[in-house]
Chain A
Amino acid sequence: MTRLRSAKIDRSVAVVCWVSAAAVCATFGCLLIEIIRAGYAEVSWEYLTSRPLDAGRAGGIGTVLVSTVLVLLVCLAVSIPVGVGAATWLSEFTTPGSRRARFVTGCVNLLASVPSIIFGLFGMVFFSQMLNLGISILSGGLTLACMVLPIVIQTTYSGLRSAAVELRLGAAALGLSRTSTLWYLLFPAATNGVVAGLLLSLGRAMAETAALLFTSGYATRMPESLLDSGRTLSVHIYDLAINVSGAESRAYASAFVLLILLLLVNLSTSMLAERWLRTRQTA
């Protein structure tokens, strides 16, 4: 009797899990099909390389893509070193659970729960006005870096912590310096964490609109330096969808490009990480 019941429970749990998995796939599938259906026809080489005309109803997204890449580069160039450094400090240079560690972890968690529009307003006041960077790609990238910092820290930290205790003990027994231990043992072990952090932050940064509207801005001109304003892809999509009548198909086309970019980033980052891991292990 009890065995029969537990078999029943087993089966229903399995069904629920299968249905949940299918629902996830279906959601993604619907989204993908809708965006491809509505946007595919507008995308061409011409579209990818020319600048927006007629408020985005004509022309392309070439300059927008350049601005997007620049903002992301600034964001990663700042957030990855700082994030990995902070995670390393938390994991290796302080006792987990100590007051200092708890304080820093608390700050990271708080930062992670701040809505992006707050980062946008902060970035506008701090980077654009106080540091006098203006509405620029640099301000936008730095604001995004603040926003994705907790992601980088959390994933790197869990990557470092997942390295076996034996690794550390062995390194200590061999008399390896702290830096060597980090470089040869712990960082390779944490690679997956860093890559996951990189991916998540790239994804979040690429999709961000609210934090960038007031910091990197709205200009569609080809940026000449990091201090020029530049419109990113998601800001462009937002503007086309809300402010420009007659540009709905163009908004979909831009969304399609954004989706492809995200997929490309995903693939190439995991490939790079694999190669990096392999060369490191043979070094």
Chain B
Amino acid sequence: MSPLSKHLRRISTLAVVAFCGLLAGCEGLPAIGVTSSEGRDSSSDLMPGTSNAPKPLSPLSGKLTITGSSTVAPLAAEMATRFEQRHRDVRIDVQTGGSSRGIIDVQSGLAGIGMASRQLSPFEAGLTAHRIAVDGVCLIVHKTNPVMTLTDEQVVAIYRGQVSNWSELGGADLPVVVVNKAAGRATLEVFLNHFGLDNAEIKADIIVGENQQGIKTVAGNPSAIAYVSIGTVSAEVERGTAIRSVPAGNVAPTSENVASGLYPITRPLLFVTNGELNDLQTAFIEFAQSPDVTDLIEAQYFVPPNR
């Protein structure tokens, strides 16, 4: 046999092997097309109305795709992991892409559940929103700062650079050091949205990325003001960090006030569904709204809603 044909034979063998490998990989093909509807066909003994009783390991099975808000995605992925541990035959895939994508995907049926980190708009009527957590933002100043309250107008003036000294707000004669969040941060969006500000008009002295960075900056600077996710503040205050939260509209930024909806600078984190729910969707949404996931919500610095 000539060396050339030996080479060719080797190549063709390789090609066949590779093709078989691809085919083997494709075996699950039909399962993908029916992503969210599969759970509907599966038998389930999960009775509606028995959610308070401890559930036995039910034969819940199938695949559920969840897409949407990148703010909710890490939380949803954690919930999905815990849910999968309890129901071995269930696969929940969490994908990101923004709130609008979640809503579009749930309308088109690509996703069984959409994630949104904003209220649904009137154009999105017909969908059902399930609140799973609340994201709140609060302003923080240094512990020694004598200014106890700030009106919305004062906050806007500070962030626009129209007020540059704490004495103008009844504080000490210190320049205001404005701390802003980097573009793309979820807290930035909530903040801008509530105060009707545009990021371009903010005159920031310091720009931080993470909540922890904002807290450290304020704790180390008696004249700084920043805003951070509410979930991070209470733990830091308990730990004795030199910061103090500023009430918004006379409502203290406590978890209770956020959960009850009294505190204004918040946004809901939602699961969105379209039409009738199958057993798997129902079970997962019930699970996501149960006390079983409170620790997961708090670990992502969000606040569990009133149940």
Contacts and interface: CB of A to CB of B under 8 A. Distances in A.
A55 B4 contact: no
B74 A243 contact: yes
A136 B26 CA distance: 11
A54 B77 CA distance: 9
Contacts of A283: 3
B33 to A, nearest CB: 5
B96 interface: yes
A244 interface: yes
Nearest to A177: B4
A136 B32 contact: yes
A226 B18 CA distance: 13
Nearest to B29: A227
Given A138-B25, A180-B4, A243-B70, A55 B75 contact: yes
A246 B212 contact: yes
Contact of B71 (A56, A134, A243): A243
Contacts of B301: 245-246
Given A134-B33, A183-B4, A245-B229, A217 B95 contact: yes
B189 interface: no
A225 B28 contact: yes
A116 interface: no
Contact of A220 (B31, B77, B97, B229): B77
Interface in A84-138: 129, 132-136, 138
A55 B299 CA distance: 9
Contacts of A132: 29, 32-33
Contacts of A227: 25-26, 28-29, 31-32
A54 B293 CA distance: 12
B77 A248 contact: no
Contacts of B70: 239, 242-243
B232 to A, nearest CB: 7
B180 interface: no
Contacts, number: 93
Contacts of B77: 55, 218-220
A117 B95 CA distance: 16
A77 interface: yes
Contacts of B29: 132-133, 227
A35 interface: no
Interface in B73-88: 73-75, 77-78, 81, 84
B65 A55 contact: no
Interface string A131-153: 01111101000000000000000
A2 to B, nearest CB: 54
Given A134-B35, A218-B95, A245-B211, A56 B25 contact: no
A54 B78 contact: yes
A157 interface: no
Instruction: Give the residue among B32, B97, B229 with the most A Cβ atoms within 10 A.
Output: B32
B236 interface: no
Nearest to B28: A227
B7 A243 contact: no
Interface in A203-236: 213-214, 217-221, 225-227, 229
A229 B73 CA distance: 15
Instruction: Give the residue among B4, B74, B84, B186 with the most A Cβ atoms within 10 A.
Output: B74
B38 interface: no
Contacts of B26: 138, 226-227
A77 B186 CA distance: 39
Contact of A214 (B18, B74, B81, B97): B97
B33 A239 contact: no
Contacts of B27: 225
Contacts of A221: 81, 84, 91
A239 B70 CA distance: 8
Nearest to B186: A243
A179 interface: yes
B210 A245 contact: yes
B236 to A, nearest CB: 12
B25 A245 contact: no
Interface string B79-116: 00100100000010111110000000000001000000
A225 B27 CA distance: 9
Contacts of B25: 138, 225-227
Interface of B: 3-4, 7, 18, 22, 25-29, 31-33, 35, 65, 70-71, 73-75, 77-78, 81, 84, 91, 93-97, 110, 184-186, 209-212, 229, 232, 299-301
Given A55-B77, A225-B25, A243-B96, 18 more contacts: A129-B110, A132-B29, A134-B32, A138-B25, A184-B4, A214-B95, A218-B73, A218-B77, A218-B94, A218-B95, A218-B96, A226-B25, A227-B31, A243-B71, A245-B301, A246-B210, A246-B211, A246-B212
23 contacts: A55-B74, A55-B77, A55-B299, A133-B29, A134-B33, A180-B4, A183-B7, A214-B97, A218-B73, A218-B94, A219-B77, A221-B91, A225-B25, A225-B27, A226-B22, A229-B95, A239-B73, A239-B96, A243-B186, A245-B211, A246-B211, A246-B212, A248-B210
